[in-house]
Copies of this chain bind each other. A is one copy, B any other.
Amino acid sequence: MNRRYGLALIGILTSSSALATEPVQPIEPYQASNQAKVELGKKLYFDPRLSKSGFISCNSCHNLSMGGTDNMPTSIGHNWALGPINAPTVLNSSLNLAQFWDGRAKDLQEQAGGPIANPKEMGFSHSLAVNVLETIPGYKQAFQQVYTNDRIGIDQVTDAIAAFEETLVTPNAPFDQFLKGDESAISDTAKAGYARFKSVGCTACHNGQALGGNSFQKMGLVKPYKTDNAAAGLSAVTGKEIDRFKFKVPTLRNVELTYPYFHDGAVWSLEEAVDVMAELQLGQKLKQQEIGEIVAFLKTLTGDQPNFRLPQLPPSTNDTPRPDPG
């Protein structure tokens, strides 16, 4: 072994070994196994005909031009209804242990059916949505190709949407490059922020590839969180009082893009979010400089955003049920 190769190997081992002890891991690019299904799901994701009005698509509230969110406290839905809770980002959502803030959907497929039938979101029903798709030859062909069935089913619709959503990981964030050994990928301030993020204890909940999404935690663990929002959290699913006000820990990936923050979307700045979290969850009052360092670190978590051509939707026909805004 020549010296140059040996040094490089030591570098890799050191970096790899350092990586293994970090509470945060890099996100890896996703390789879709069924590209036809992904393309079908992408069309469905952008298609407002899955809503009663013909105006609202998955992308309306999980906007892939805006970090997979709508950047509003709670979403606007059918008939301009305001939703009960902040729309979480769809980016990296395949890494979540469950879907929705209260985890009531076990996976992306189960989640995808929720908004379609929610009167305050897309305001439709599963059977009506399928009826629309059945009349559109471009969809009929695509479903037949992917599922080799004669009739479209809602399970196929949500399966295809989930397959598309699984592609929406955001690798190559500056912080991931740093984790992989590129010391110059993030600033010294961000490095100090990451050290503090760990020492303060944020990584107790915000860890793993997604820096969150892998546990439920009480909002207001040390001090109570005050909100007008009525969401009960995990207790609405388990029926257990001990789970009241427990929510799925949100991912911090792309957090610079996913404002406003918390399940009620009440906080708009990362500085305030860090300040509140440290005090309410960890009982620590951070200094402005410390907050600034952590925010600098959080801004290194923005990875590669969705990168694909705007899908073209197959046109309706004379048989297609018409949109109903009322």
Contact = CB atoms under 8 A, between A and B. Distances in A.
A239 interface: no
A318 interface: yes
Interface string A240-261: 0000000000000000110100
B312 A309 contact: no
Nearest to A315: B257
Contacts of A70: 48, 54-55
A129 to B, nearest CB: 16
A49 B311 CA distance: 22
Interface in A302-325: 305-313, 315-316, 318, 322-323, 325
Given A316-B259, A318-B268, A55 B72 contact: yes
Nearest to A305: B312
B325 A66 contact: no
Q: Report the contact-size class of chain A (Cβ under 8 Å from the partner).
A: 35 or more
Contact of A271 (B64, B72, B316, B318): B318
A54 B82 contact: no
B311 A308 contact: no
What secondary structure prevails in chain A residues at the interface with B?
loop
A42 B291 CA distance: 35
B322 A268 contact: yes
B311 A309 contact: no
A295 to B, nearest CB: 10
Contacts of A316: 71, 259
Interface of A: 46-49, 53-55, 60, 63-67, 70-72, 76, 79-80, 82, 256-257, 259, 268-269, 271, 305-313, 315-316, 318, 322-323, 325
| A-B pairs, 5 with minimum CB distance | A80-B80, A269-B318, A55-B76, A305-B312, A65-B313
